[in-house]
């Protein structure tokens, strides 16, 4: 068992909550209020956030009340709320004793505050009050749901997943989408370069727009889409960079863009454009595009893993 799992387990125990080791989430009830506790950023496993499902017909927490709460509770960092949920953000604390104590007392105080303000426990989805709820993982979002909502969401998601699986891939649409996306990427390269810099952001724009373009017009992003998208990214990065040089040549030699574009190899040959300069520029652009593509593909895969997942937190049931 890892140290982190052990620490979370002890934190759950101190709160009287349950710990879902697979999802690394702690959940439980405090005076009937459903609470889900987890670290939002994986790099900061001890910076916890508590989501309390509660609704107040009397209105919401005042800014001053929140300020006072954060002042009174050393472990708390901020409070945020929307319709059926109050979120309490804790400060990062690696000292486990202090973390347990801080989270415990701040939660107790928060519940007192919520009760004073007329907040009642509720289902986070339909807002129904005084109803039995449980914590669920809905595509990576954690929610307190009543049995009706849980059943409905589960059904909706099964259907959505099936529909997605049945959706066929439109190859031509995908290629057109990717092409349009990569053109946006190339424009971005030229735009930033004309401002005098090679920007990391153009690599990301190139990758995101190309792959998203494929998905948007192709129906779904498959392995084929990644391959086609990658080829287009490589090609359009080259074209974008060469066009960028051509714009410079066009200005310098007062010629048209087409002639300028075509004359680039000759200008490199004649050492008017330094090959080192040209190569360096292009290499940097490729580096940024690769970085962009890797991060986009990584987030795609991560999202897809979460997508369509529905399960009760604290139980092994999931599909
Ligand atoms: Zn509900």
What's the gap in Å between 163 CA and the centre of ligand 1? 25
Dihedral angle at the C-alpha atoms of 109, 84, 34, 21, nearest 10 degrees?
A: -110
pLDDT of residue 318: 44
Euclidean distance between CA atoms 193 and 179, whole angstroms: 21
pLDDT digits (tens, 9 = 90+) for 154-201: 999 888 888 877 878 899 999 999 999 999 999 999 999 888 777 788
Q: How close is the Cα of 147 to the center of ligand 1, in Å?
A: 7
Residue 156 Cα to ligand 1 middle (Å): 14
Q: For residues 102-129, give the mean pLDDT.
A: 94
**How many angstroms does the Cα of residue 23 sit away from the middle of ligand 1?**
23
Q: How far is the CA of 311 from the centre of ligand 1 (A)?
A: 16
Nearest Cα to Cα of residue 134 among 126, 125, 143? 143
Segment 73-109, tens digit of pLDDT? 999 999 999 889 999 999 999 999 999 999 999 999 9
Q: What CA–CA distance (Å, rounded) separates 174 from 213?
A: 7
Ligand 1 centre distance from Cα of residue 310 (Å): 15
Write down the pLDDT at residue 120: 94
CA of 164 from ligand 1 middle (Å) equals 26
The CA distance from 28 to 10, in Å, is 14
Cα(94) to ligand 1 centroid in Å equals 36
Q: What is the CATH topology of the domain spanning 3-160?
A: Yope Regulator; Chain: A, (3.30.1460)
Please determine, for residue 317, whether its predicted confidence score (pLDDT) is greater than 70: no
CB neighbours of residue 316 within 10 Å? 8
Domain regions of the chain by residue span: 3-160, 171-306
Least reliable range by pLDDT among 48-52, 280-284, 307-311 = 307-311
Reported confidence tier of residue 316, pLDDT bands at 50, 70, 90: low
Ligand 1 centroid to Cα of residue 144, in Å, is 8
pTM of the model: 0.68
Q: What is the model's pLDDT at position 125?
A: 94
């Amino acid at each position: 068992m890892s140290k982190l799992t052990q620490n979370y387990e002890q934190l759950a125990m101190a709160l009287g909550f349950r710990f879902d080791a697979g999802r690394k989430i702690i959940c439980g009830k405090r005076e009937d209020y459903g609470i889900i506790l987890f670290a939002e950023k994986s790099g900061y496993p001890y910076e916890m956030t508590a989501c309390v499902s509660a609704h107040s017909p009397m209105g919401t927490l005042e800014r001053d009340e929140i300020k006072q709460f954060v002042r009174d509770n050393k472990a708390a960092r901020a409070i945020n709320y929307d319709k059926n949920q109050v979120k309490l953000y804790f400060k990062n604390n690696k000292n486990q004793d202090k973390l347990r104590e801080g989270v415990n007392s701040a939660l107790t105080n928060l519940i007192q505050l919520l009760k004073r303000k007329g907040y009642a426990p509720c289902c986070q989805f339909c807002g129904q009050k005084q109803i039995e709820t449980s914590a669920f993982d809905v595509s990576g979002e954690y929610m307190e749901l009543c049995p009706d909502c849980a059943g409905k969401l589960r059904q909706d998601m099964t259907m959505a997943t099936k529909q997605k699986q049945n959706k066929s891939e439109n190859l031509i649409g995908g290629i057109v989408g990717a092409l349009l996306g990569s053109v946006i990427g190339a424009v971005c390269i030229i735009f930033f370069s004309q401002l005098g810099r090679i920007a990391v952001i153009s690599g990301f724009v190139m990758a995101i727009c190309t792959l998203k373009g494929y998905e948007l017009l192709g129906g779904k992003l498959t392995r084929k889409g990644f391959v086609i998208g990658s080829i287009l990214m490589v090609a359009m990065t080259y074209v974008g960079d060469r066009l960028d040089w051509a714009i410079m040549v066009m200005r310098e030699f007062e010629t048209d863009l087409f002639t300028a574009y075509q004359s680039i190899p000759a200008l490199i040959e004649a050492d008017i454009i330094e090959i080192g300069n040209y190569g360096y520029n292009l290499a940097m652009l490729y580096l940024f595009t690769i970085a962009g593509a890797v991060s986009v593909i990584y987030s795609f895969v991560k999202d897809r893993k979460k997508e369509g997942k529905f399960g009760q937190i604290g139980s092994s049931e999931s599909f």
